[in-house]
A = this chain, B = another copy of it.
Amino acid sequence: MAEPTIDHRGPEFAKLTHELLNDLKQIFKTSGTVVIYPSSGTGAWEASLVNTLSPGDKVLMFETGYFATLWRNMAVKLGLDVDFVPGDWRQGVDPAMVEEKLIEDKKQNIKAVMIVHNETSTGVTSRVNEARKAMDRAGHPALLMVDTISSLGSINYRHDEWRVDVTIGCSQKGLMLPPGLGLNAISDKALKASKSARLPKSYWDWEPMINDNKSGFFPYTPSTNLLYGLRESLSMLFGEGLENVFARHLRLAEATRRAVKTWGLEILCMTPEEYSNSLTAVLMPNGYNADKLREIILKKFNMSLGTGLGKLKGKIFRIGHLGDFNELMLAGTLCGIEMGLVLSNVPFSKGGVTEAIDYLSAHQ
């Protein structure tokens, strides 16, 4: 009664911490180390940088969209020297470019390669495995860091098999929780790099976190309520089976893409093998504003579609189909869009919903 009911210094809490850290390893597909911050996913980005790098270190990043650009900005602010490969926000990281850049770097000044796995702003999924192979071909020792904020628990991802050094995740997408947990999965190579990294750090410092986690505790107050929620969401994912979860997201994403194509609208992502299974960004026809469409759909049908971020503002809308999402929720979503297109007088061909449900019927 006198203290909050969840005592984060008691034995029950320690048990919970151990369970969660173990279970999260299965989600990242790693036997390495996982840490949990009370933070947004952006905090988990910062943790990946300050733990492994030193002021002025060179890193290689790719302009795949809005969030890749924000991550670049963070790296610059923290005093890193970023080689930011430009991009058109419609394609993922080009493995050939990774290889070329690393081969050019004869002195091995590049300390890390940073990739956003699934760009939430564009619906493009970079081929991390191919990037890894490119790094291997270049024989370059740089660390590989990957943002899986909108792919973890939704799209196939393999931290160990792809030899990723730091994977960044969070609570509020595939793990189906409110925002407030930032995650790092950490390879031994990254842990070793952290021993000599000189960016100042305290809140994000892996070392006390990993030490305290051994006995089930945290160096400062964790987000206790979200950790209890995490236990539930991990149970849901394991109950369905992670491979089944991935298959469901693929099925719903493919139905969405078929609807979009039937409507005669263009998917922002230009390369089919990079289509995202967690969200689909759709280009508006020339002269039509996506936010006008979004506003009508919100007002009439109480459904909030994702807006275009940064330079895509007004040009696209985004359909999320990740997390605790099923066939009928998707069908309702697509119907809402088809009705919104009518009400907004956007030129399009009807029948997207029918195409989607045909596909879904045929894949049960």
Contact = CB atoms under 8 A, between A and B. Distances in A.
Interface of A: 1-4, 6-10, 38-43, 45-46, 50, 55, 70, 73-74, 77-79, 170, 172, 178-180, 199-203, 205, 219-226, 298, 300-307, 319-321, 325-329, 331-333, 335-336, 338-339, 342-343, 350-351, 353-354, 357-358, 360-362, 364
Identify the 6 closest CB pairs spanning chains A and B, nearest first: A331-B335, A332-B332, A42-B220, A328-B332, A178-B225, A342-B361
A146 B219 CA distance: 21
B306 A3 contact: yes
Contacts of A364: 300, 339, 343
How many monomers of this chain does the complex have? 4
A40 to B, nearest CB: 4
B350 A354 contact: yes
B172 A221 contact: yes
A180 B357 contact: no
Contact of A179 (B7, B43, B50, B223): B223
B46 A77 contact: no
Given A1-B328, A38-B43, A180-B225, 9 more contacts: A2-B329, A10-B298, A46-B203, A50-B200, A77-B200, A302-B326, A328-B332, A329-B332, A342-B362
B40 A222 contact: yes
Contact of A221 (B42, B221, B300, B342): B42
A4 B304 CA distance: 8
Given A38-B40, A327-B336, A2 B180 contact: no
30 contacts: A2-B319, A2-B325, A2-B329, A3-B304, A3-B320, A6-B178, A7-B304, A39-B39, A40-B222, A40-B223, A41-B220, A42-B219, A77-B201, A170-B221, A178-B226, A180-B180, A180-B225, A302-B326, A303-B328, A327-B339, A328-B332, A329-B332, A331-B332, A331-B336, A331-B353, A332-B335, A335-B353, A339-B360, A343-B361, A353-B357
B304 A38 contact: no
Contacts of A354: 350-351, 353-354
A142 to B, nearest CB: 21
A342 B222 CA distance: 34
Contacts of A358: 342, 350
Given A1-B333, A179-B222, A223-B179, A200 B304 contact: no
Best-surrounded residue of A3, A200, A328, A331 (most CB of chain B within 10 A): A328
B335 A328 contact: yes
A361 B296 CA distance: 11
A152 to B, nearest CB: 15
A79 B200 contact: yes
A338 B333 CA distance: 16
Given A200-B79, A226-B180, A343-B361, A333 B2 contact: yes
Contacts of A55: 200
Given A203-B46, A306-B3, A332-B335, A326 B351 contact: no
B305 A200 contact: no
A320 B2 contact: yes
A106 to B, nearest CB: 28
Contacts of A298: 10
A221 B172 CA distance: 9
A305 B38 CA distance: 24
